[in-house]
Amino acid sequence: MKILVAVKRVVDHAVRVRVRPDRSGVETDNVRMSMNPFDKHAVEAAVALNEAGRADEIVIVSIGPKQANDVILTALAMGAHRGILIEAEGRLETLAVAKLLKAAADEERPDLVLLGKQAVDDDSNHVGQMLAGLLDWPQATFASGIKVVGNGLEVTREVEFGRTTIAIPLPAVVTADLRLNMPRNAGLPMVMRARQKPLTVRSIAEFGVDIAPRLEIERVSPPPEREGGRIVTGVSELAAAITAELSQLETL
């Protein structure tokens, strides 16, 4: 089986971003960037399938600026075989990303495309589902377990009421949730070896995909501030505060 994994370079999940004073977006200059956390789980799942003899080739694709090389190298260090960077400056909408990934999938013909469930910058949670739609493939989103069974997959999904397991045929699109696995930290020898692995840089223009934005972002605002409250001194004061809140509820 051949697996394509899509990884995005995003503002590190531990950074608390600030909205720019002119409200044009969030401040991303001099901010730590890294691979979207969900995508690490997607890469780990692919590498584990390779180690289990279920997958023979893992291709990483990222769409973004030159620096997105870094996240591809991280994935190669984890055990993927080759990388593709589709160079793009500035913001792309998820539909444009999905169309570019569709074009890459048409070229690469993978049996499985793995993605993260959501990118922690735009928090969209779109691209996997869109790609599955464009390819007309089945999708299994929010995966916390993947098993190869016969010619297909059994995927456990995290849903509203708990978990559900579904069986889907290949080729398919699967998006990773955080409980799918424990992504490995690649050691230095793996990082060094990653630099020897093939990494192709492509331009968006080569794909002939319409990437014109459909939405206009009028402004980006900070969320409303919460007023810090007060420290209560004991259980009886806390209980009194709770009962006061409860009586307010009852009058609603």
Partner 1 sequence: MAVLVLAEHDLGTLSASTARIVAAAAELGAVDVLVAGEGVDQVTIAAAAIAGVAHVRVAQSAELNGLSAEALTPLLEHLAPDYTHVIAAAASVGRDVIPRLAAKLDLMPVTDVIAILGPNRFERPIYAGNAIETVTSNQPRHLLTIRASAFRPAAQGNAALIEPVDASGVVAVARFVAAHRTEGDLPDLSTAQIVVGGGVSLGSAEKFALVEQLAGKLGAAVGATRAAVDAGYAPNDWQVGQTGKIIAPDLYIAVGISGALQHLAGIQGAKKIIAINSDPEAPLVKLADYALVGDLFEIVPALIAELERLGVKR
Ligand X SMILES: Nc1ncnc2c1ncn2[C@@H]1O[C@H](COP(=O)(O)O)[C@@H](O)[C@H]1O
Ligand Y SMILES: Cc1cc2nc3c(=O)[nH]c(=O)nc-3n(C[C@H](O)[C@H](O)[C@H](O)COP(=O)(O)OP(=O)(O)OC[C@H]3O[C@@H](n4cnc5c(N)ncnc54)[C@H](O)[C@@H]3O)c2cc1C
The DSSP code for 75 is H
Cα separation of 107 and 77, whole Å? 24
Task: Examine residue 34 and tell whether it contacts ligand X (CB under 6 A).
Answer: no
Distances, alpha carbon 185 to alpha carbons 74, 181, 182, 189, in Å: 9, 13, 9, 12
Task: Examine residue 40 and tell whether it contacts ligand X (CB under 6 A).
Answer: no
Instruction: Between 114 and 233, name the residue whose CB sits nearer to ligand X.
Output: 114
Size of the site for ligand Y (CB under 6 A): 3
Tokens (6 digits) for 39: 């995508």
Greatest extent of the chain over all pairs of C-alpha atoms, in Å: 69
Do strands 162-169 and 172-176 pair parallel, antiparallel, or not at all (unpaired)? Answer: unpaired
Instruction: Between 13 and 18, name the residue whose CB sits nearer to ligand Y.
Output: 13
Backbone phi and psi for residue 20, each to the nearest 5 degrees, phi listed first: -65, 145
Q: How far is the CB of 190 from partner 1 (least distance, A)?
A: 25
Q: How far is the CB of 31 from ligand X (least distance, A)?
A: 17
Residue in the structure block whose two tokens are 């009852």: 250
Question: Contact region for ligand X (CB under 6 A) — 5-13, 45-53, 134-142, 154-162?
Answer: 5-13
Query: What is the b/e burial string over 151-163, where b = at least 16 CB atoms within 10 angstroms of the residue's CB?
Result: ebbebbbbeeeee
Task: Examine residue 63 and tell whether it contacts ligand X (CB under 6 A).
Answer: yes
- Which among ligand X, ligand Y, partner 1, none contacts residue 209 (Cβ within 5 to 8 A by kind)? none
The footprint of ligand Y on residues 111-130 (CB under 6 A) is 120
The single residue among 46, 64, 138, 174 that binds ligand X, judged by CB under 6 A, is 64
Task: Examine residue 37 and tell whether it contacts ligand Y (CB under 6 A).
Answer: yes
Site string for ligand Y, 70-109 (x = CB under 6 A): ----------------------------------------
Burial class of 82 by CB neighbour count within 10 A (0 to 12, 13 to 18, 19+): middle
Tokens (6 digits) for 8: 């995005």
Tokens (6 digits) for 135: 């390819």
Task: Examine residue 132 and tell whether it contacts ligand X (CB under 6 A).
Answer: no
Q: How far is the CB of 36 from ligand Y (least distance, A)?
A: 8
Angle at which helices 127-135 and 94-108 cross, to 10°: 50
Instruction: Between 49 and 177, name the residue whose CB sits nearer to partner 1.
Output: 177
Q: How far is the CB of 143 from partner 1 (least distance, A)?
A: 12
**Chain residues in the site for ligand Y (CB under 6 A):** 13, 37, 120
**Chain residues in the site for ligand X (CB under 6 A):** 6-8, 36, 38-39, 42, 62-64, 94, 97, 115-116, 118-119, 122, 124-128
